[in-house]
Amino acid sequence: MPKITCVVDQETCIGCGVCANTSPDHFELDETPKSHFKDGDKDQVVEVNDSDLADIKTAADQCPVAAITVEDK
């Protein structure tokens, strides 16, 4: 499984929910409302399978303010 870093820039995020709608298994809005990666910390280094990686990258690509960064490790 590939290892990635997924970062949601809290200053840039507008809380529109596109990422949570596109990839609900990986993103959710908190009470502020701002998006974050569901697995805990806002800046994550995680192992994901290829289909999850595709979903995460799609959510990042669809973010209207480019608040999500995904990098392969």
Q: Where are the domains of the chain?
A: 3-72
Predicted pLDDT at 16: 97
The amino acid at residue 67 is: A
Predicted pLDDT at 62: 97
Say which CATH topology domain 3-72 has: Alpha-Beta Plaits (3.30.70)
pTM: 0.84
Predicted pLDDT at 43: 56
Confidence of residue 5 (pLDDT cuts 50, 70, 90): confident
Spatial distance between the Cα atoms of 71 and 9, rounded to a whole number of angstroms: 14
pLDDT in tens, 10-69: 899 999 999 999 999 999 998 999 998 886 555 566 778 888 889 999 999 999 999 998
